[in-house]
Amino acid sequence: MNTNLPTALLDLESHLRETTLLSSTRGLLEWDERTKMPLQGGPYRAEQIALLSGMIHQRASDARIGDWLGELEQLPLAEDRHSLHGCLVQQTRRNYEKAIKLPKSLVEEITRTTVLGQQSWVEAREHDDFAAFAPILEKIVGLKIQQAEALGYDATPYDALLDEYEPGETTSNVTRILADLREQLVPLVAAITDSANQPDSSILTRGYAADQQQQFGSRVAGLVGFDFQRGRLDTTHHPFCTDLGPHDCRITTRYDEGFFPAAFFGILHEAGHGFYELGMPDDWYGLPPGSCTSLGIHESQSRFWENMVGRGRPFWQWCLPLAAEAFPESFADLSVDQVYFAVNSVKPSLIRVEADEVTYNLHIIIRFELEQELISGQLAVSDLPDAWREKYEQYLGITPPNDADGVLQDIHWSGGMFGYFPTYALGNLYAAQFLAAMRAELGNMDQLVEQGDFQPLHDWLAKHIHQHAQRYSAAELVERATGEGLSHLPLVDYLREKLAPLYQLPASSS
Amino acid sequence: MNTNLPTALLDLESHLRETTLLSSTRGLLEWDERTKMPLQGGPYRAEQIALLSGMIHQRASDARIGDWLGELEQLPLAEDRHSLHGCLVQQTRRNYEKAIKLPKSLVEEITRTTVLGQQSWVEAREHDDFAAFAPILEKIVGLKIQQAEALGYDATPYDALLDEYEPGETTSNVTRILADLREQLVPLVAAITDSANQPDSSILTRGYAADQQQQFGSRVAGLVGFDFQRGRLDTTHHPFCTDLGPHDCRITTRYDEGFFPAAFFGILHEAGHGFYELGMPDDWYGLPPGSCTSLGIHESQSRFWENMVGRGRPFWQWCLPLAAEAFPESFADLSVDQVYFAVNSVKPSLIRVEADEVTYNLHIIIRFELEQELISGQLAVSDLPDAWREKYEQYLGITPPNDADGVLQDIHWSGGMFGYFPTYALGNLYAAQFLAAMRAELGNMDQLVEQGDFQPLHDWLAKHIHQHAQRYSAAELVERATGEGLSHLPLVDYLREKLAPLYQLPASSS
């Protein structure tokens, strides 16, 4: 311990570290619930999680934090967010202000209503009954507007909600970028759909026993760089990645024995999240200098490994022999080109989580546009299903046959997570920007991947992204790492460069 | 909620229930550490556990508990320990007095010293170096004497330590019973050793793949009655059972691919613990009317299923076809009599945890006698290895060749767990008493087990033991269930009845 540091700093750190011990413990309660807990353990687990959540919220809004920050903000050490202590003070201020701005009654009502909302959503989706879900969704939208008003915003209430997930980003900026992206992707998808050259996706629908997939996925994750001394892979219904300590990152997946890509790319995706979690400074675990700077940046790391690396031709040059070894009957007769084309199959579809690398962004843009309209009051909840169908027709050229596979497909809105969706698309955009910069800096990235030498990629990500944690905002990280601000162009270029040769697209569409 | 109940009762309950939420959460941190946690997660996990332990201790010694109890003890509802509220008040008084009698400094020093003690023990055992372990063991013995003095006792300091694990039991009573037991078992073991009729134990050392054992063990545990909707089975180094909620009981085992009984009987043992945990009143989970009454009673439940049921001939009449189905190459050629004799092999051996049903008690008696002498000051720590060897020669007829497989084999003393060992032998004694009473009451127990119909056994245990939790002490439970007090005779009779025919023992030895 550096005894020259001000007492207020030591007290603040100690307070935050204890809160992190509790929140990581809650993380274990949640991880276990989703991977291991016996069926009937649910109700008591909910009580355990609720108790810890209450304790954590109380600690996050403890008035002493305000006192400590007040003292520290007078000192030079707090001036520079890019320094460890500056980041600690400034980001804790941000978190503290958010915590105290929200009235306890509102927090509790949002929690209560979204729990009911999710239950109602499960029912409504099962019975394809949007009308049954509409009343509580209206209530949730109303509460989220109240939340935005309490938090405050510059231009529009949606800014406040977006800021929860993508700190510092603005609705107007994201709107502009995603509109630009949409204008490029809609014709690209149409050209791909019209192409006579289509992959044989059926080659990835042969048999893959779940335990074989688990072994193979673990092996590849390990070779790609996931450290199983600092993490685990488990099975779950809705895959996720969670960190339970500075050296304890849990990734999860689910296995479809008739469709190889689901678990395999899922594991690469979650491992990408894991690399970020395990790559932030250990000794600041859970505090701002050791926490992710935005969900978009987090998603960029998962998308980078899943798509930019995992769906690349060099990766399959390296990986196909391993796959053929693990699944001789399903892979031994396939060529790299066959697998490469099949894993890059692009096809408009109804369900976001099953969408390919191109159309995925359109699924997100639709949600982003609709949720903004809901929060601004331009769109009534009762008009949502029609608006949804219109956008799917307009952007993807398909018509959802029902609401269950349409507007009811995602859990997010029922859980009050307005402002979350755009971070998925931002992740894709950031990832493409990082890829371009990394490719230029490394010079021989494809050869490295072909040889299974992923360390230089990790080094680049550690240097430009992971180590900085919250010392730089997402926008700053992108600017520093790539020399440019957020832009839709690198993603569009990346997709065109990959897909134009595969689908033999006419020059006009690229 | 019954609003006619006194506020003090509601407040006390609410306080205890919240503490239970925290202690069961700590239970998950510990379960995960021992079954799932990645290697490098250890140091942070220790911090999480330490934080929760501090919070739990603070809550247990909260002065408001004394106030609530003071009020409630004036009321009729607190008078009868056999009632739910009487049990709650009286047992909480007991726990609270213990918590406040121990000075915080002593608790902390015991915690610190036993952590170091366990580390020192691991080293010492590895290097067979008792002298290196002796200084810290001396310190631990001194601290445990201080603890006994702080807690208070009637006759001897060891009473206070024993009471931690076997509430209400006395050193003099246990001494008398175990001495009686020893006098019967020593000649029985000698007669068995001298017998010309010995089992072929090698039939249980064929190959058993770990995952097959896991599947088979789970299947049998399920058929015997372990509810996998309310529990799980996982792999660990040092098997245990833990409850993480009223409907969430985790059992664990380890697999030896060359020795069938280790995991199989281990699973039955832990399932027996699990039946007790899951059998106590759900709505009082973690509070005295929903917690185990003593470790001896807990152990009686595990030993009952492991030995009294699992090593019985009727059990193998039922189970052998299942084993032959799961492991055709290892079991299909075996007869019930062969397996029955092999699983009841009795042979003096060095290591307690590997000992058979008879000699196990002698291992315990040796430890019980020695630890009493340590606490009373009759035996110096430096003389412990010699005393150990003498007793092994005297009671088991074997001489430990070194301290690693002798006095250093158990973790208990290094962890300060003086008073724990006798509960293992008490468990065997209670189990035999319960068995005799159950057998008499059911009338057709062997036929039921032969048919795989275990429900009547569960019903008996639920009625006479599980449902009562702490509303009855161990002594009261035994008296009520069997009509007699704690005695060595039922265990001796049970062992003789089983083993005399198998080993064709001369009448003189029985």
**Which pLDDT belongs to residue A112?**
87
Note the pLDDT tens digit of each residue in B193-214.
999 999 999 999 999 999 999 9
Residues of B in contact with A228 (CB under 8 A): 38
Answer whether A268's CB lies under 8 Å from A309's CB: yes
**Which pLDDT belongs to residue B185?**
96
- Which three-class secondary structure state does DSSP give residue B156? coil
Residue B508 confidence (pLDDT) above 60: no
Residue B452: phi and psi, rounded to 5, are: 70, 25
Nearest to B52 by CA among B25, B87, B73, B82: B25
Q: Is B282 on the interface with A (CB under 8 A)?
A: no
Nearest to B213 by CA among B171, B250, B255: B255
Q: What is the percent of chain A with per-residue pLDDT over 70, rounded to a whole number?
A: 99
Residues of A in contact with B230 (CB under 8 A): 38-41
DSSP labels for A137-162? HHHHHHHHHHHHHHH--SS-HHHHHH
Note the pLDDT tens digit of each residue in B121-137.
999 999 999 999 999 99
- Which residue carries 């033991």 as its tokens? B465
Half-sphere exposure of A262 (CA within 13 A, CB side): 21
Residue A510 confidence (pLDDT) above 90: no
Long-range contacts (CB closer than 8 Å, 24 or more residues apart) made by B66-74: B66/B96, B66/B100, B67/B8, B68/B8, B68/B9, B68/B11, B68/B12, B68/B15, B69/B12, B69/B93, B69/B96, B71/B6, B71/B8, B72/B6, B72/B8, B72/B9, B72/B12
DSSP labels for B37-62? --GGGHHHHHHHHHHHHHHHHHHHT-
Residues of A in contact with B246 (CB under 8 A): 44
Residues of A in contact with B18 (CB under 8 A): 51
Q: What is the mean pLDDT of residues A344-357?
A: 95
Q: Which two tokens stand for residue A47?
A: 């009580």
The partner residue sitting opposite A38, judged by closest CB among B36, B41, B232, is B232
Q: Is A21 on the interface with B (CB under 8 A)?
A: yes
CA distance A311 to chain B (A): 29
Q: Is A51 on the interface with B (CB under 8 A)?
A: yes
Residue A60: CB partners within 8 Å, gap ≥ 6? A19, A95, A96, A99
Rounded to whole angstroms, the Cα distance separating B387 from B396 reads 14
- Which three-class secondary structure state does DSSP give residue B27? helix
Residues of B in contact with A248 (CB under 8 A): 37-38, 40-41, 44-45
Rounded to whole angstroms, the Cα distance separating A123 from B417 reads 52
Q: Which two tokens stand for residue A297?
A: 């940046």
**Which pLDDT belongs to residue A238?**
87
Answer whether B376's CB lies under 8 Å from B156's CB: yes
Note the pLDDT tens digit of each residue in A269-310.
999 999 999 999 999 999 999 999 999 999 999 999 999 999
Mean pLDDT value across chain B: 96
Mean pLDDT value across chain A: 96
**Which pLDDT belongs to residue A172?**
97
Answer whether A42's CB lies under 8 Å from A99's CB: no
The partner residue sitting opposite B38, judged by closest CB among A37, A45, A230, is A230
**Which pLDDT belongs to residue B397?**
94
- The domain made up of A204-328+428-509 has a fold known as Neurolysin; domain 3 (1.10.1370)
The partner residue sitting opposite A44, judged by closest CB among B45, B47, B247, is B247
Residue of A nearest to B50 (CA): A21
Answer whether B262's CB lies under 8 Å from B255's CB: yes
Please identify which of the residues A30, A169, A270, A369 carries the catalytic annotation.
Answer: A270
Answer whether B96's CB lies under 8 Å from B65's CB: yes
Q: Which two tokens stand for residue B1?
A: 């909620």
**Which pLDDT belongs to residue A201?**
96
The residue among A30, A40, A230 with the most chain B CBs within 10 A of its CB, best to mutate, is: A40
Residue B509 confidence (pLDDT) above 50: no
Rounded to whole angstroms, the Cα distance separating A211 from A225 reads 21
Note the pLDDT tens digit of each residue in A69-83.
999 999 999 999 999
Residue B119 confidence (pLDDT) above 90: no
A196 band by pLDDT with thresholds 50, 70 and 90: very high
User: Cα B179 to chain center, whole Å?
Assistant: 20
A417 band by pLDDT with thresholds 50, 70 and 90: very high
**Which pLDDT belongs to residue B282?**
97
Answer whether B346's CB lies under 8 Å from B364's CB: no
Note the pLDDT tens digit of each residue in A21-38.
999 999 999 999 999 999
Residue of B nearest to A286 (CA): B44
Residue B1 confidence (pLDDT) above 60: no
Q: Let me know if A270 is a catalytic residue.
A: yes
* Structural domain spans, chain B: 1-101, 118-510
Residue A253: phi and psi, rounded to 5, are: -155, 180
- Which residue carries 């009520």 as its tokens? B480
Q: Is B32 within 8 Å of A32 when comparing Cβ atoms?
A: yes
Q: Is the pTM of this model over 0.90?
A: yes
The partner residue sitting opposite B44, judged by closest CB among A37, A43, A246, is A246
Residue B333 confidence (pLDDT) above 60: yes
Note the pLDDT tens digit of each residue in B4-55.
889 999 999 999 999 999 999 999 999 999 999 999 999 999 899 999 999 9
CATH architecture for segment(s) B118-510 = Orthogonal Bundle (1.10)
Residue of B nearest to A23 (CA): B48
Note the pLDDT tens digit of each residue in A40-69.
999 999 899 999 999 999 999 999 999 999
Rounded to whole angstroms, the Cα distance separating B111 from A19 reads 23
Element (H, E) at B232: strand B231-235
